[in-house]
Chains A and B, each alone.
With several copies, the nearest count.
Chain A
Amino acid sequence: MKLIVKVFGKISEEIGESEFMIEKSDNIASLKSEINTIYPQLKDLKFAIAVNKKLSTDSDKIPEGAEIALLPPFSGG
Chain B
Amino acid sequence: MEKTRKPKNIFVEGAISPEKIAKSIANHATNHEIGGHSIFLGQVRADAKEGGKVTAIAYTAYEEMALQQAFEIREAVFEKYPLTCMHIYHSLGEVKVGEICLFVFTSSKHRKAAISACEELVERIKNELPIWGKELVSNDTSVWKENT
Contacts and interface: CB of A to CB of B under 8 A. Distances in A.
Interface string A38-77: 0000000000001001000000000000000101111111
Contact of B131 (A10, A13, A69, A76): A76
A50 to B, nearest CB: 6
Contact of B127 (A13, A53, A72, A74): A74
B126 A9 contact: no
A9 B125 CA distance: 17
B119 to A, nearest CB: 13
A77 B144 contact: no
Contacts of A77: 42, 90, 101-102, 111, 122, 125-126, 131, 147
A23 B102 CA distance: 38
A75 B65 CA distance: 15
B132 A6 contact: no
Contacts of A75: 131-133, 144-147
A13 B147 CA distance: 19
Interface residues of A, number: 15
B5 to A, nearest CB: 18
B132 A74 contact: yes
B105 interface: no
Given A76-B126, A77-B126, A6 B62 contact: yes
A69 B128 CA distance: 15
Interface in A7-31: 8-10, 13
Contacts of B147: 73-77
Contacts of B144: 9-10, 13, 72, 75
Nearest to A45: B144
Interface of B: 42, 59-62, 64-66, 68, 90, 101-102, 111, 122, 125-134, 144-147
